[in-house]
Homo-oligomer: A and B are copies of this chain.
């Protein structure tokens, strides 16, 4: 059988976990979760999802592509903001249903709020009852989101 597809079929647990062919498992919505880190600092910049096309475009182009759940479209990160994520390395996990991107970010920032990382606040470990107070881990924003995004709708949902 000549099979020229980029993704292999999933035949056995051993093949998926210990094999050397990319055989990704997309969930019921056709998506897999992605975590993106700064290749230099190890900082987690963002979490997102990819569909088949986003994964293939990332592999082909060397720039991070995601599926935007808020806009329901393929999302070439940085197309609006200029903050393109250049791929340093792509990793896949044991059961091939999650992706880790190590990237270099032009402009050094990845968060639509203007911070370097989307994870700019820490949650304490505490046994105290009552509301849990966050602490900010980035002293200032890396860019002005209004300058960069203008009046594009904010993706945050309540």
Contacts and interface: CB of A to CB of B under 8 A. Distances in A.
A22 interface: yes
Copies, count: 2
A21 B113 contact: no
Given A37-B42, A90-B125, A91-B137, A132 B7 contact: yes
Contacts of A42: 37, 41-43
A20 B119 contact: no
Given A44-B91, A118-B93, A22 B132 contact: yes
Interface residues of A, number: 71
Interface in A112-158: 112-113, 115, 118-127, 129-137, 154-158
Contacts of A93: 46-47, 118-119
Given A92-B121, A100-B44, A134-B92, A157 B4 contact: no
A91 B43 CA distance: 11
A4 B19 CA distance: 50
Interface of A: 3-8, 10-13, 16-22, 25, 33, 35, 37, 41-44, 46-47, 58-62, 87, 89-95, 98-100, 111-113, 115, 118-127, 129-137, 154-158
